[in-house]
Structure 1
Amino acid sequence: MELDNIYFYIATIKAWKPLLSKDSYKEVLIESLRFLTQSGKLVVYGFVIMPNHFHIIWEMLELNGNELPHTSFMKFTSHVIFKDIKASNPGLLSDFKVLSVSRSHNIWMRHSLPIHLYSDKFILQKLTYIHNNPLQEHWRLAERPEDYKYSSARFYETGIDEFGILTHIKERT
């Protein structure tokens, strides 16, 4: 990813484990996004946190130290979730074990998928997809997009950002 470009990004929990079913882990993601947006490192235009993955539309504004903000986000959230699993459910750790010189476990699958959003039409298409994700038949997490808490759909419906992380896409396009 490059600075000052809008991306649709998908990150998945290793082995598609439904770790993000736990609201406290969803809150870890929100808190990390809040820190990075309030620090002026990135802008979040839309998101949804699903049980085993998340989708986000974001723009990296400046480096966070020596790395892009999305890298900081992935590292931080992985660390906090790993630490909690280690303390509260160590039997689950084996699901995230990896053979690597640099780490013993991965919470996130490697090689998340960033897609550069180069047009307003493409941005709106992905935003609609994100907001409708919890309604898909195999999820059935809500009746309407704005009913699902861990999504930006309610923000786009009401204008209220209960997370303190969102910027309306029309401010950028």
Structure 2
Amino acid sequence: MGEAYQIRDQEMPYFLTFQVVGWADVFTRKVYRDVILGNLTYCRKEKGLYLFGYVIMSNHLHLVVQQKDGKLSEGVRDFKKFTSKKLLKMILENPQESRKEWLEMVFKYHAKFNKRSGELQFWTHENHAIELVNPKMIETRMKYIHENPIRAAWVDKKEDYLYSSARNYSGLTGLIEVDYW
């Protein structure tokens, strides 16, 4: 893992990117996006996560987060471990999943190159962690994540994308609660 993108100060807010291995478009299905939303909500309520912003794209998600107890690395590890296990089980045990064999092949292929993964790997091990040391950096990253669906040409206005905290910041009801910065 590169030295530049590691979580060093466990108490600071960070911009994080979690990417599905092989850039597999898992989150094109609502049921899988909802797993992410459910776990983010759980982490906010039960694990001390400040969730300032998020966006779920087809094959990755961006977060601006901070951990109340100063154990951000542990929180990230637990989030990725739980969601990985749950999503792999859902995908591979779902008879309606038309891409099951292809996705299993992708997850197996990437696991071969990483001895920590077991037989299947869902997330890459990198988090592209960027420490947000001042309000301007937070504002820049929030703008970046909220405009991601616009850059993907999915919506014209950031608040129109349901799977993003842009709705919350625009005064609309978001799918989950966030912690305003």
| Structure 2: gaps (5+ residues) | 1-6
In 2 relative to 1, CA 162–85 (structure 1 residues): closer, same or farther, beyond 3 Å? closer
Q: Which residue of 2 aligns with 1:94?
A: 105
Q: Does 1:142 align with 2:155?
A: yes
Deviation of 1:23 after TM superposition, in Å, equals: 1.1
Match of 1:72 in 2: 78
Instruction: Give me the whole-angstrom Cα distance separating, in 2, the residues matched to 1:107 and 1:123.
Output: 28
Displacement after TM superposition at 1:40 (Å): 4.3
* Residue of structure 2 equivalent to 1:37: 44
SS at match of 1:111: coil
- Match for residue 152 of structure 1? 165
Cα deviation for residue 59 of structure 1 reads 0.2
Q: Does the 8 Å contact 2:51/2:65 carry over to 1?
A: yes
Identify the residue that residue 3 of structure 2 maps to in structure 1: none
Let me know the Cα RMSD of the aligned residues. 1.7
- Equivalent pair of 1:146/1:154 in contact (CA under 8 Å): yes
**Secondary structure in 2 matching 1:141:** coil
After superposition, the C-alpha distances for 1:85-124 in whole angstroms (9 at most, x for unaligned) are 1102441211111125441111111222110000111110
Map of 1:125 onto structure 2:
140
Q: Tell whether the 8 Å contact from 1:4 to 1:60 is kept in structure 2 after alignment.
A: yes
Could you tell me which runs of 5 or more consecutive residues in structure 1 were left unpaired when the two chains were aligned.
none
Q: Is the 8 A contact 1:47 1:54 kept in 2?
A: yes
Q: 3-state DSSP class of the match of 1:96?
A: helix
Q: Aligned residue pairs: how many?
A: 164
Alpha-carbon contact 1:135-1:143 (below 8 Å) kept: yes
State the identity as a percent: 26
* SS of aligned partner of 2:62: strand
Kindly indicate whether residue 128 of structure 2 is the aligned counterpart of residue 113 of structure 1. Answer: yes
CA contact (8 A) 1:41 1:63 kept: no
Contact 2:11 2:70 (C-alpha < 8 Å) held by counterparts: no
- In structure 1, what is the Cα distance between the partners aligned to 2:39 and 2:169? 21
1:167 counterpart residue number: 179
Residue 62 of structure 1 and its aligned partner are, at CA, apart by: 2.6
Contact 2:164 2:174 in 1 (8 A): no
